[in-house]
Chains A and B, each alone.
Chain A
Amino acid sequence: MVKAAQAGDASAFGKLYELYRDPVYRYCLARSGATHDAEDLVADVFLRAMEALERYEDRGLPFVAFLFRIARNAAIDRSRRTRPDMSIEDLTNDPESDHNVESAAARSTERQALVNAMSKLKADYRDVLLLRFVEGYGAAEVGRMTGRSEGAVRTLQHRALDRLRRELDRSGASALFDRWGGAEAAK
């Protein structure tokens, strides 16, 4: 699909967008902390990817790693221009539909608290948490994506989780996640 897009196939690039827009969006959301910023960033990332497509070389890494690298640079550029801030809209803009309004609201609050805390982490910590736990890549794969050894990724991941916990404690949001240690975890 990447090769077809490189050859000028618009529909192939469209498929790449459909395939990777959500991981890129989550990555951008975790970095910016605000949905509207994340959406703008996604557009920016794919526009940059389009321009850089000719230079892309398959070196055994998933294409999404290429997009994450672009996203990281795009987010850095953006953060230099603007300061991320949260909006009320972000708290209510929950893409997940849920019949149980209370439960949906709780999850939205939880998610927002998590995203908020992650946006305050160092970029390396945030990246490793996103790639390992949100996107579900193995430590070895994350290592290849970020140029680290598997052991280094695990160490970084441990520190990142510790830092995230402290961030949640500081914001008073840690109680929101108690359920993940009990009933929710059992699910």
Chain B
Amino acid sequence: MNEGSLARALGALRSTHMPELASDRVRDELERAWRDRADRPQRRGLAVPAFARAFALVTVVVVTGFLTLRAGADSPLYSARIAIEDTLVLFQADRVEYVTALYEERAEEAARLEAVGNALAAGHAREAEADTLRLLNRIMPRTEDPSPEPSPAIVVAPTAEPSLAPTVTPTPIPTATRPGTPPPAPAPTPKPATTRPSTVTPTATPAYFTVHATGYVTSADGTPVNDACVSTGIDSSCVTSTTNGRIDFVLLGRKGQSITLYVRKLDPLTGATQRGKVTTVVTGPTLFLGQIVIRVI
């Protein structure tokens, strides 16, 4: 039996027909089903057409996205908004600029909520603000290799007057001259003291800029503290942490803006937390925090 004969035998199957009796039975069944189906269009008519469903879905997505992106810190959608905004960083041509704008927006929102007295929402906004700062520190290109030069001078200066150094003078030069002769000292000091608040704030330069902050964290006995948490709130999440006592990170600030940083370090042996803080004013792209001594309070 070759292929040809098999093919011909198969061809003979074409003469096989469905028995009429069975065909009639199927036809009846189909007629019944068709009538049942014809009763359904009313229900189907109520059903939304496919294009309308797709349109509705797109609308819901767009509206939800819009509401989410406009959700305030007091909204349950706020965390979703933060997540979306943070994800959008990946798609930005200038990530630093985008994150800077985000930081500005979140800081303003936190300030506004604090002013209104909504502490819970303000806390959320502050958390987001701190997260933004951390993000900025991650993405900020590190080109600050000139720091090794000022650091030896800074190391010397804080040891003499540790607590005064950060608040009084932003540059190490005046600290060197100050202890020397008291009479000339009053003359230069009033100038920055009086002019800075009056000249810097009214100029109203709301634009934030990146500030490279450096400083040292030591315990009361002067030993550098490693891995201490640096935050913008008393117990808020860490913006950065110290490495061999050194603080070195980037933040966003305005000229003349007062910034307070909190440092804490949990002693795993005693369970006690050593704390310290520093308040300083932003004067330029570099910010020397000085030596911050932490102790159990």
Q: Determine whether the beta carbon of A96 is less than 8 Å from that of B8.
A: no
Known: A29-B16, A133-B7, A134-B10. A50 touches B30 (CB 8 A): yes
Q: Determine whether the beta carbon of A13 is less than 8 Å from that of B17.
A: no
Among A27-74, those with CB < 8 Å from B are 29-30, 35, 38-39, 42-43, 46-47, 50-51
Known: A161-B7, A177-B9, A185-B5. A42 touches B17 (CB 8 A): no
Residue in contact with A111 in the complex, picked from B5, B13, B38, CB distance below 8 Å: B13
Chain A interfacial positions (CB closer than 8 Å to B):
8, 10, 13-14, 17, 21-22, 25-26, 29-30, 35, 38-39, 42-43, 46-47, 50-51, 93, 95-96, 107, 110-111, 114-115, 129, 132-136, 158, 161-162, 164-165, 168, 174, 177-178, 180-181, 184-185
Closest to A176 in B: B9
Q: Determine whether the beta carbon of A95 is less than 8 Å from that of B17.
A: yes
Residue in contact with A95 in the complex, picked from B12, B19, B37, CB distance below 8 Å: B19
Q: Which residues of chain B are near A35, meaning CB under 8 Å?
A: 19, 22
Q: Determine whether the beta carbon of B1 is less than 8 Å from that of A133.
A: no
* For the complex of A and B, 8 pairs with smallest distance between CB atoms: A133-B10, A25-B18, A180-B5, A181-B5, A39-B22, A43-B26, A180-B9, A180-B8
* Interchain pairs with CB closer than 8 A, number: 115
Assess whether B152 is interfacial by the CB under 8 Å rule. no
Q: Which residues of chain A are near B176, meaning CB under 8 Å?
A: none
From A29, A43, A46, A50, residue with most partner B Cβ within 10 Å: A43
Q: Determine whether the beta carbon of B30 is less than 8 Å from that of A178.
A: no
Q: Which residues of chain A are near B7, meaning CB under 8 Å?
A: 132-133, 161
Q: Which residues of chain A are near B30, meaning CB under 8 Å?
A: 13-14, 17, 43, 46-47, 50
Q: Which residues of chain B are near A181, meaning CB under 8 Å?
A: 1-2, 4-5
Grouping DSSP codes into helix (H, G, I), strand (E, B) and loop, the A interface class, with mixed when no group exceeds half, is helix
Grouping DSSP codes into helix (H, G, I), strand (E, B) and loop, the B interface class, with mixed when no group exceeds half, is helix
Q: Which residues of chain A are near B25, meaning CB under 8 Å?
A: 39, 43
Measured CA separation A8–B37 after assembly (Å): 10
Q: Determine whether the beta carbon of A13 is less than 8 Å from that of B34.
A: yes
Q: Which residues of chain A are near B10, meaning CB under 8 Å?
A: 114, 129, 133-134, 164
Q: Give 9 A-B pairs besides A39-B18, A43-B29, A134-B14 with Cβ atoms closer than 8 angstroms.
A: A14-B30, A39-B19, A51-B37, A110-B9, A111-B12, A114-B13, A133-B11, A134-B10, A135-B14
Q: Which residues of chain B are near A95, meaning CB under 8 Å?
A: 16-19
Assess whether B3 is interfacial by the CB under 8 Å rule. yes
Measured CA separation A135–B6 after assembly (Å): 15
Closest to B22 in A: A39
Measured CA separation A111–B14 after assembly (Å): 10
Measured CA separation A161–B27 after assembly (Å): 34
Known: A13-B34, A95-B17, A165-B1. A184 touches B8 (CB 8 A): yes
Q: Which residues of chain B are near A8, meaning CB under 8 Å?
A: 38, 41
